[in-house]
Structure 1
Amino acid sequence: MPRYDYRCRACGDTFEMNRPMAESGAPATCPQGHAETVKLLTTVAVTGRGGAVPSAPATGGGGGCCGGGCGC
């Protein structure tokens, strides 16, 4: 079951909840009992075998804005 992070707007507490994906947008109450909470955006890191993260080649160019086309 996925775990979602929330932050309470009343007390500032950050907490986690395990709930089905179908209920990810449902209101969550913080551990202190406050109902005004917001779901936080979380990221997931996925690695290959051995835990090594493959790196991008150090060749310039390529497509996209930050590939050298827009001056990021």
Structure 2
Amino acid sequence: MPVYDYACAECGNFETVRRIAERDEPAPCPQCGNAAARVVIGAPSLGGGSAQASEETGSYGMRHRGGCSCC
């Protein structure tokens, strides 16, 4: 399952493993239990104005850990 970043207003950022269908829903903070919004970062634009995805970002906006075999 993919790993997503979330930001708790009280405790800061954390990562959690979630299903793709749940990625945009708030996640409970593991420290305080408050609902935390997903951190969404756009892919950088490299040269000539054409948008290119980062090598570490998948098609659903998830980060891949080293050695993943999905892409």
Q: TM-score, normalised by structure 2?
A: 0.51
3-state SS, counterpart of residue 21 of structure 2: helix
| Shift in Å, 1:41 | 1.0
Q: Give the length in aligned residue pairs.
A: 46
Query: Which residue of structure 1 lines up, in the alignment, with residue 13 of structure 2?
Result: 14
**Aligned counterpart, 2:33:** 34
Identity of aligned residues (%): 37
Q: After TM superposition, what 4+ stretches of structure 1 lie above 6 angstroms from structure 2?
A: none
Task: Note the alpha carbon deviations across 1:9-50, whole angstroms, 9 max, x for none.
Answer: 123x21001111011123311121231311001456228xxx
Which structure dedicates a bigger proportion of its chain to strand?
Answer: 2
- Structure 2: runs of 5 or more not aligned: 44-52, 57-71
**Greater C-alpha Rg:** 1
Match of 2:55 in 1: 46
Q: Which one has a larger percent helix, Structure 1 or Structure 2?
A: 1
Superposition TM-score, scaled by structure 1 size: 0.50
Residue segments in structure 1 that go unaligned for 5+ positions in a row: 48-72
Counterpart of 1:54 in structure 2 is: none
RMSD, aligned CA: 2.2
Judge conservation of contact 1:6–1:40 (CA < 8 Å) in 2.
yes
